[in-house]
Amino acid sequence: MSSQDKMIIEVGGMSCVRCSTAVENALKRVDGVLDATVSFTSGRAEVVITPGAVTRKKLMKAISSAGYQPIEDRDTYQKRERRQHLLLFLFSAVLSFPFAVMMILMFAAPEAPLTHLLHNGWLQFALATPVQLVAGAHFYKAAFASLRNRSPGMDLLVAMGTTAAWGYSTYVLFSGGSQFYFEGAAMVITLILLGRMLESRAREKTSAAIAMLLKLKPHTVTVFRDGKWIQLDGSVVQPGDRLLIKPGEAVPTDGRVDKGSSFADESLITGESMPVSKNPGDPLTGGTVNGTGSLEMIATAVGEQTVLSGIIRMVEAAQSSKAPVQKLADKIASVFVPSVAVAAVITFVGWLIAGPSVAVAIENAVAVLVIACPCSLGLATPTALMVGMGRGAGMGILLKNAESLENACRLDTVLLDKTGTITEGKPTVTDIRVLGEWEEQRALQLAASLESYSEHPLARAVTESYAGERLPVEDFAALPGQGVSGRVDNSNVKIGTAIFTDAMQADADADEWRQAGKTVLFLSVDNTLAAMLAVADPIRPESAASIEELHRLGLKTVMLTGDRKETAQAIATLSGVDDVIAEVLPDQKAEAVKRYREKGAVVGMAGDGVNDAPALAEATVGFAMGSGSDIAMESGDVVLVGGGIAALPRAIRLSRATMRKIKQNLFWAFFYNTVGIPLAALGFLSPIIAGAAMAFSSVSVVTNSLLLRRSKL
């Protein structure tokens, strides 16, 4: 299938998962469309078409006909939507604020003049009507669209419930009555607008991961053309071109070293902190960073064929895939909404037949709608989420959306990246062994003084291990892949490999360190071995305890790493993970996640590097370490800003506690309706009592959510 057989269209105006289903169905009805997948999270429609059978304009028209917005410029749309959401919320909040004051005064000062003023029906009508008709217009529009698409959701519930409360209150006001329900309608709309505003801002960030990945590609490159080096746009590079990579520059595309020697920082791609020696013939990956030496490379893969482009495609595909679980409230709404409407009609007709009066029939039918008003249903999820997310923020846990929180409580397997997640992600000197009469501090002083002239990450590990005075260095020289040398304090000092330092006779003594996954450096002074240093990426102090806590929560733990099997196994033994998958590339990490999901596991992935982004997006829930790359944090569903891996079990406990509250809230919300609707239909509940029950259900839901603040996590 050619690339022309697939079209990507941005979609706006979706407020729940059922909206994406409605858009999908509308697209699938277009002649020439073979399949359509719409992601509510990313706001993207991926449409597979018969070549030449349908135009983009026709697909966009189908989206518009379904009641949603096809988007040409996502950034412009998001800015306009963000501004509109904010203005509507502020408009609604300002007009609803007096109702909040009134509800407080009813208990605190029921006889106060202000309380009587706020109970004035005409004042309440003046405040609530703009909220209902202006701020609530979106709910009416979405409700009509959901009916047209046969996919009723929360918008229809909100429209029906608030209209019932506002409409009946208006009827009572103009009939000379004094019992009103304006405050319920206005405050529900305000709170739901707040939730929508926060949700849309969180969803905006899904596309930021792709933008950050694209920034890794250099805009200009130095290319050898017509016998000279010239600066060209990176997009014109072709396979076979000779490119110059200066110290500190990013590698523009995939290729191999032709001339020069250096080290490449591949942590952005592989996630591994140790630099990789690059000599003629060695491969180079686009997006990695050259060290201190200049390199001439031959481009072998460009554009969409590079490793970095593959990572970008994988993140896009994972983000656009459909969520496996729909919102619980929307599922129930598909049955609840028509049931309430039927119940209200039956109540009205039944009381008309019974014969008391039309007013009685209207009153009882309205009581059914008022008791069924989804105030508590609308508050059930957002209040628990607001409290849960606030609690999480205080612990350094940022949950991006309710879907990830819902999924996190179901996890049974967690895949953990090694570098930067289980380990520190920063090489340090872990061991030193001096020989003969050498003192440890003297050996470290010589090594740190010499290495201070090098910018190699291993050199920085050595220099940071000694806080004392640096000695002057003369005749400094570096041999890439071997080590450095120079005159320090009138002595010829070398530090590097066993061959470089003439320390082959002591090389076997370092096997124990190597088996523990450490890199060994040899220090020689005047051609005599003085010390051996072990450099490693140490395990985070909290890793073992955190992994044990995950086990107590019933989760299986698996370590993913691009490192060697020996090193990975050593880290696994110390940290206590259940299983190890070593020597994996970025695409293989995502594949590993996929394999576990195909086996039926509910998979969480924790990582901090660009190489982890596809796996984070592929997982049911991606946990991004806050100390890691911005791309990993944008690709993850949960960002662990503080505490590193220690925050991971807390995040899962928080998720489980919050979901318990949401389920409890939904139970009580529907319990009131289940019990109240029959009573209202039979005439045992007046609209006043129905309104009180509705208010009580809302209070109980909010109170239950607030208890989450005191939950032990």
Q: 218-251+254-301: which CATH topology?
A: 2.70.150
The residues, ordered by sequence, that sit 6+ positions from 255 with a Cβ below 8 Å of its Cβ are 243, 283, 284, 297, 298, 299, 300, 301
Amino acid at 687: P
Query: What average pLDDT is seen over the chain?
Result: 81
Q: Which of 155, 241, 265, 417 is catalytic?
A: 417
Q: Which helix (H) or strand (E) holds 176?
A: none
> 3-class SS at 545?
helix
Over the stretch 521-568, which tens digit does the pLDDT of each residue have?
A: 999 999 899 999 998 888 888 899 999 999 999 999 999 887 667 767
Strands 413-417 vs 603-607: parallel, antiparallel or unpaired = parallel
Residue 526 contacts residue 487 (beta carbons within 8 Å): no
| Range with the poorest average pLDDT among 40-44, 166-170, 602-606 | 40-44
Give the separation between CA 653 and CA 548, rounded to whole angstroms: 14
Q: Which CATH architecture has domain 428-536?
A: 3-Layer(aba) Sandwich (3.40)
Q: Which CATH architecture has domain 3-72?
A: 2-Layer Sandwich (3.30)
What is the sign, positive or negative, of the torsion defined by CA atoms of 418, 419, 420, 422?
positive
Strands (E), 171-219: none
Give the separation between CA 610 and CA 31, rounded to whole angstroms: 40
At residue 647, does pLDDT exceed 60?
A: yes
50 DSSP 8-state letter: -
Has 417 been annotated as catalytic? Answer: yes
Give the separation between CA 476 and CA 492, rounded to whole angstroms: 10
Q: Which CATH architecture has domain 390-423+540-657?
A: 3-Layer(aba) Sandwich (3.40)
At residue 587, does pLDDT exceed 80?
A: no
Residue 366 contacts residue 687 (beta carbons within 8 Å): yes
pLDDT for residue 201:
62
| Confidence at 245, pLDDT banded by 50, 70, 90 | very high
What is the sign, positive or negative, of the torsion defined by CA atoms of 65, 68, 73, 76?
positive
Strand-pairing partners, residue 685, are: none
CA atoms within 13 A on the CB side of 172: 23
Give the separation between CA 205 and CA 639, rounded to whole angstroms: 12
> 3-class SS at 249?
coil
Give the separation between CA 704 and CA 701, rounded to whole angstroms: 5
pLDDT for residue 183:
80
Phi, psi of 276 (to 5 degrees): -115, 130
Alpha-carbon Rg for the chain, nearest whole angstrom, is 32
Give the separation between CA 373 and CA 680, rounded to whole angstroms: 13
Angle at 231 between CA 230 and CA 234, to 5 degrees: 130
As a whole-number percent, the residues of the chain with pLDDT over 90 amount to 24
419 DSSP 8-state letter: I
- Answer with the residue of higher pLDDT: 83 or 567: 83
Residue 299 contacts residue 305 (beta carbons within 8 Å): no
> 3-class SS at 68?
coil
- Most confidently modeled range among 385-399, 417-431, 626-640: 417-431
Over the stretch 124-175, which tens digit does the pLDDT of each residue have?
A: 999 999 999 999 998 888 888 878 777 665 677 677 767 877 888 898 899 8
446 DSSP 8-state letter: H
Burial degree of 417 (CB within 10 A; 0-12, 13-18, 19+): buried
Q: What is the mean pLDDT of residues 656-684?
A: 84
* Residue 456 neighbours by CB distance under 10 Å: 20
Give the separation between CA 40 and CA 320, rounded to whole angstroms: 8
At residue 693, does pLDDT exceed 50?
A: yes
> 3-class SS at 47?
strand
Order of strands across the sheet that contains 283-284: 228-233, 220-225, 242-245, 295-301, 254-259, 283-284
Nearest to 698 by CA among 369, 386, 381, 377: 377
Amino acid at 103: M
pLDDT for residue 321:
43
Among left, alpha and beta (phi > 0; psi -120 to 50; other), residue 223 is: beta
pLDDT for residue 394:
62
The torsion of the CA quartet 196, 201, 204, 208, rounded to 10 degrees, works out to -160
Nearest to 367 by CA among 686, 2, 706: 686
Give the separation between CA 407 and CA 328, rounded to whole angstroms: 12
Nearest to 493 by CA among 443, 539, 560: 443
The answer to whether domain 390-423+540-657 and domain 428-536 are alike in fold is no
Residue 314 contacts residue 296 (beta carbons within 8 Å): no
Q: Where are the domains of the chain?
A: 3-72, 218-251+254-301, 390-423+540-657, 428-536
Mark out the alpha helices in 372-456 (DSSP H runs).
375-394, 402-408, 440-451
21, two tokens: 């289903």
Strands 483-488 vs 491-496: parallel, antiparallel or unpaired = antiparallel
Amino acid at 453: Y
Burial degree of 468 (CB within 10 A; 0-12, 13-18, 19+): exposed
Give the separation between CA 644 and CA 98, rounded to whole angstroms: 44
Give the separation between CA 213 and CA 632, rounded to whole angstroms: 10
| Range with the poorest average pLDDT among 24-33, 67-76, 598-607 | 67-76
Over the stretch 560-581, which tens digit does the pLDDT of each residue have?
A: 887 667 767 888 888 999 999 9
The torsion of the CA quartet 646, 652, 658, 664, rounded to 10 degrees, works out to -140
Phi, psi of 233 (to 5 degrees): -65, 140
* Residue 228 neighbours by CB distance under 10 Å: 7
At residue 351, does pLDDT exceed 80?
A: yes
- Answer with the residue of higher pLDDT: 628 or 407: 407
pLDDT for residue 646:
86
Over the stretch 440-461, which tens digit does the pLDDT of each residue have?
A: 999 999 999 999 988 777 788 8
Give the separation between CA 373 and CA 351, rounded to whole angstroms: 21
Strands 44-49 vs 33-39: parallel, antiparallel or unpaired = antiparallel
Burial degree of 353 (CB within 10 A; 0-12, 13-18, 19+): exposed
Residue 214 contacts residue 245 (beta carbons within 8 Å): no
Buried-state track 262-273, b at ≥16 Cβ within 10 A, e below 16: bbbbbbbbbbbb
Give the separation between CA 676 and CA 689, rounded to whole angstroms: 10
pLDDT for residue 549:
95
| Confidence at 424, pLDDT banded by 50, 70, 90 | confident
Residue 20 contacts residue 38 (beta carbons within 8 Å): yes
Distance of CA 26 to the CA centre of its chain: 29
